[in-house]
Structure 1
Amino acid sequence: MIDPAILLPYILACVLFSVVPGPSVSVVVANSLAGGTRAGLLTILGTEIAMLVMVTIVALGLDVVMNVVAEAFVIIKFVGAAYLIWIGWKMFSASGQLDFKAADKLPVWRYLRQGAVVNLSNPKTLLFLGAFLPQFVDTSRPAFGQIMILGLIVMAVATASDCVYAVLAGQARQVLTAARVKLMSRVSGAILMAGGVWLAFQKRA
């Protein structure tokens, strides 16, 4: 259904889109440092569930959806910004002590929720997908199936990229001293809070 001639440039564009760290990558790294690779992978699952929802929205009706999002942009933006700042502050103010056993017992839904909420509360992701995916659609054929396939490809690339971040951060926590963990928590928390502030001041596209 997808023209093979566009697959390579499309995948390269997806790689560029995925490797640049954003709010979702920051949450994946922070959770991997605190709870290990498992926590990071569960967070990724949450972000990809949210991504699938957004791809489906784009596929079902781009013009209608973009108008709805445009009207709700301010509300979504500030909810997402507040959530990022809240998570960031919790990390920034953490003691730096990592209880590996306790972290392994944390409920799955906590990581899924964080990943999904951070992705869904960033309207720029939906706006980007709405502008990016249609560029590779053959207008002579039905768009829904094409957009879903293109969306699954970008999800696969993003998942692979995020898994690298999760594994590296999850392994790094094993060799970190308490002082270094506290420093990393503060750095991760500061990045998330800065991301929340940045998101709050983004103008509507």
Structure 2
Amino acid sequence: MIDTAIVLPYILACLLFSLVPGPSVSVVVANSLAGGTRAGLLTILGTEISMLSMVFIVALGLDAVMTFVSGAFEIIKLAGAAYLVWIGWRMFTARGHLELEPGRRKSELRYIWQGALVNWSNPKTLLFLSAFLPQFVNLSRPAFGQIMVLGLIVMAVATLTDAVYALAAGRARHVLTAARVRMVSRISGVLLMAGGVWLALQKKA
């Protein structure tokens, strides 16, 4: 369905795209530190579900859909930025533990929902996919199937790279001493708040 000659360069490009930390990586790391590797992997599931919806929008290529999403970008972006800052503040002010919700664990569904929301809150992800994926499409063949395959590849690469972050952060929480837990919580909180501010300041391309 896609030209085999472009597969390797495309995967390398996807790898470079996925390795660059962004708001999604920040929340994956923060959740992994707070709730363990499983929490990070569930967060990744949420980000990938949202990315699949973005790939589907790009594959459809409907101007009406893209116009609607573009018009909603500012609201989605600001809501997501505020959410990141709120999570970061909760972690920054936590007292001696990494759990975001004192006294109770977050539900698995909430980790998934959180990952999806944060990823959708970054409009540049959709803009990047809409500009990036068509570059590898053979115009002599139907575009929808090619874009979906290309999208699944970039999702697979992103899942692997994000999983590395989740595993590393999940393992790190088990070797932390009590004296360092608060410091890690504060650092994670600062990273999330910085990611929220960065997201809010981004201009639509």
TM-score after normalising by structure 2? 0.93
Give yes or no for the alignment of 1:198 onto 2:186.
no
1:183 corresponds to? 183
Return the letter of the residue paired with 2:183.
L
Q: Quote the sequence identity (%).
A: 74
- Distance change >3 Å, CA 131–CA 65, structure 1 → 2: farther
Deviates further, 11-20 or 73-82: 73-82
User: Structure 1 unaligned runs (5+)?
Assistant: none
Give yes or no for the alignment of 1:67 onto 2:67.
yes
> What do residues 119-169 of structure 1 show as CA deviations (whole Å, max 9, x unaligned)?
011111101101110110111111110000000000000000011111111
2:107 corresponds to? 107
Q: Describe how 1:48-59 pairs up with structure 2 within 5 A.
A: 48-59=48-59
CA-CA distance at 1:91 after TM superposition: 1.1
User: Are the aligned partners of 2:98 and 2:185 in contact in 1 as well (CA < 8 Å)?
Assistant: no
> What do residues 46-99 of structure 1 show as CA deviations (whole Å, max 9, x unaligned)?
111111111111111254433223222221211111111111111111113247
Return the letter of the residue paired with 1:194.
A
TM-score after normalising by structure 1? 0.93
User: Are the aligned partners of 2:123 and 2:204 in contact in 1 as well (CA < 8 Å)?
Assistant: no
- Distance change >3 Å, CA 85–CA 25, structure 1 → 2: same
Q: Describe how 1:161-180 pairs up with structure 2 within 5 A.
A: 161-180=161-180
- Distance change >3 Å, CA 79–CA 8, structure 1 → 2: same
Give yes or no for the alignment of 1:120 onto 2:120.
yes
- Distance change >3 Å, CA 135–CA 104, structure 1 → 2: farther
User: Are the aligned partners of 1:66 and 1:127 in contact in 2 as well (CA < 8 Å)?
Assistant: no
Separation (CA, whole Å) in 1 of partners of 2:94 and 2:103: 14
Give yes or no for the alignment of 1:42 onto 2:32.
no
Q: How many residue pairs were aligned? A: 203
**Root-mean-square deviation over aligned CA pairs:** 1.7
User: Structure 2 unaligned runs (5+)?
Assistant: none
Return the letter of the residue paired with 1:158.
A
User: Are the aligned partners of 1:43 and 1:111 in contact in 2 as well (CA < 8 Å)?
Assistant: yes
